[in-house]
Amino acid sequence: MDTINEKNTVAEIKVLFEKASDDSLIELLKWEQSHKNRKTLVKFIDSKLKKPKNPKKTSYVYNRKTTLQYEVYRDHIRRVGDISQPKFDSEAENKKQEIWGYEKGYSAFSRNKCNSNRGDHIYGIREHLGKISTDTLWGKIPCTHGENISWKRYTKSDGSIGKLTDNVIDESALQPREQENLGKLRKWSEYCKQRNVTLAYDICPELEQEWSEIICQKLSEIDEACAAAGLRYAQTQIPVRENFN
């Protein structure tokens, strides 16, 4: 971005702002503190910053945003968290089966068959604000798709829905099966603590917001580029129609 100084008029700074990259906006926002037309400039900058950064789109490509966000969370944990986790060994597997009461190849909540190497993340990848579950077998409980998440939900005394993984649990409202699951969760958490395992990582909202903005921006670019390529092709090629009758 061009250099800004006290000689620039507000109109000139507005033009510079329109052309500014995300990095250079920081310099502009710092510089405006001492500008003689500060009030006018601040009002203009604020109006720009308040505009939605992630405009709603309806394409199938853009609507994969949630899926990509989920995978970004998993990749992040794999790179900076789970790389330091203790190995999930045979001792851990045996203890897990003992505490949760299942046999290898079966669900921990029924006699339904399922893959013991998969299952529900105890704390979820995006279930708890500011927390991400470990993506290792330490933090996954084998269960079927239908049992996923439902095993830890319960109805509170006030009628609202809570989770056994919440910081505060309304234990007086728990049904016998829910009390049993809570007891298993606490025993497993204690064992993981003894093995120096982290079941959930804290994550700052600012990073989550930055991830969201990056994904939205890139998906929008992909969507627009692919749409433009498709239109160019459609304008120069005669569509081929197959007759199967």
Residue bearing tokens 């190497």? 117
Q: Which is more confident, 188 or 19?
A: 188
- Element (H or E) spanning 147, and its range? none
Looking at residue 96, its pLDDT comes to 96
Q: Is residue 135 predicted with pLDDT exceeding 60?
A: yes
What is the overall mean pLDDT for the chain?
Answer: 80
Looking at residue 1, its pLDDT comes to 44
Please give the model's pTM, rounded to 2 decimal places. Answer: 0.66
Q: Is residue 24 predicted with pLDDT exceeding 70?
A: no
The residues near 6 (Cβ < 8 Å, ≥ 6 apart) are 34, 35, 36
Q: Report the distance separating Cα 40 and Cα 43, nearest Å.
A: 5
